[in-house]
Amino acid sequence: MRVLVTGAGGQLGRDLVAALGGSVPEGGRRRALRGPGAPLVPSGLDVVAADHAALAVDDRTAVLGALDALRPAVVVHAGAWTDVDACEADPDRAFRVNAMGTRHVAEAAARVGAHLVYVSTDYVFDGTSHRPYVEWDHPNPLSVYGRSKYGGELECPPGATVVRTSWLCGAHGANMVRTALRLAAARGPLRFVDDQHGSPTFTADLAAAIVTLATDRLPGVFHVTNAGATTWFGFVRAVLELAGHDPGRVEPIATAELRPPRPAPRPANSVLDNAALRLAGIPPLPDWRDGLERLVRVLGPRA
């Protein structure tokens, strides 16, 4: 079974490719798009790792051409413009990549009969709910990024798998764990907001769950996050504690106190109930503290 991963050079993309049994070559990025004849990996999956340089999803001709040549059975579409604040200043770019890009991937996948798995976000919700969101709650994104990613959801055909996830952290990207470890190594207090609630999710755990959903071609929306929830303040305290720093250095602040204010509004509560996974009998992801412990071990105390 050939699986093509878009955005394969990203934080999640790299762990997805690894979970599928492949690797993203360093340097010579175009070689990452491996064509027919690439060796089958032992799992029986033939992974095509398409990073941004190899395949820009906002280039319709390129997307149609690549899928026509490669004929994957499954496309895991993880490529996106993920700079949430920058999206506010350039909505056309956000929609071109995140919404139209997904339209192109969906069109190309349909032409070759490939199953589509689209990776979406907790930021499709407005955060006003006082309980975790289930898959059947109504999206109402606050930010351009959230609207553009929801646009991508609307481009997915009924049989596609839509995976909404949140607060991603992994070994290969810029994320809150790395930021916290960097700040902890310097002097001074660390101030993090205590009024945004979410579920930190570790890309290695998420990638494994996506492989299950993708290879089983399960249709519909799935919330897939590590179990448990916290605030950014609580999360950074846990990072410092696990890395052997003093968690007492972390001070809680309100989002309204951030200076300068962040351009993109964030939902106050974006905890996702993984209801569809549970109801489908698929094992839940481990607690976020478990994933964090593993990631801090990999990154070391001064990542």
Q: Does the annotation mark 145 as catalytic?
A: yes
Nearer to ligand NAP, 208 or 249 (CB): 208
Q: Does 198 bind ligand NAP (CB under 6 A)?
A: no
Please tell me whether the peptide bond between 252 and the residue prior to it is cis, using omega within 30 degrees of 0: no
What is the secondary structure of 137-203 as a DSSP string? SPP---SHHHHHHHHHHHTS-TTSEEEEE-SEE-TTS--HHHHHHHHHHSSS-EEEESS-EE--EEH
Q: Where in 39-78 is the site for ligand NAP (CB under 6 A)?
A: 52, 55-58, 78
Nearer to ligand NAP, 56 or 275 (CB): 56
Residue sitting closest to ligand NAP (CB): 10
List of residues 6+ apart from 8 with CB closer than 8 A: 14, 16, 17, 24, 32, 49, 50, 51, 54, 78, 79
Measured from the CB atom, is 67 or 168 closer to ligand NAP? 168
Token pair belonging to 38: 């690439």
What does the alpha-carbon distance between residue 197 and residue 49 come to, in Å, rounded to a whole number?
A: 33
Q: What is the distance between the alpha carbons of residues 210 and 3, in angstroms, rounded to a whole number? A: 12
Question: Catalytic residue among 118, 133, 145, 150, which?
Answer: 145
Binding status of residue 211 toward ligand NAP by CB under 6 A: no
As measured in angstroms, the least distance from the Cβ of 33 to ligand NAP is 11
Q: Scan residues 6-45 and list those touching ligand NAP (CB under 6 A).
A: 6-7, 9-13
Number of residues that bind ligand NAP (CB under 6 A): 28
Q: Which of 20, 45, 94, 97 binds ligand NAP (CB under 6 A)?
A: 97
Smaller CB separation from ligand NAP, 184 or 202: 202
Interface residue with ligand NAP among 82, 148, 161, 196 (CB under 6 A) is 82
CA distance 230 to 31: 40
Q: Which of residues 132-161 bind ligand NAP (CB under 6 A)?
A: 149
Site for ligand NAP in 283-302 (CB under 6 A): none
Q: What are the C-alpha distances in Å from 155 to residues 54, 120, 126, 248?
A: 22, 12, 20, 46
Question: If DSSP codes are grouped into helix, strand and coil, which group holds residue 10?
Answer: coil
Lay out the site mask for ligand NAP across 158-197 (x = CB under 6 A, - = otherwise). -------xxxx----x------------------------
Report the 10 Å Cβ neighbour count for 284.
Answer: 14
What CA–CA distance (Å, rounded) separates 288 from 168? Answer: 11
Shortest CB 118 distance to ligand NAP, Å: 8
Helix (H) or strand (E) holding 4: strand 2-6
Site of interaction with ligand NAP (CB under 6 A): 6-7, 9-13, 52, 55-58, 78-82, 97, 101, 119, 121-122, 149, 165-168, 173
Residues serving a catalytic function are 145
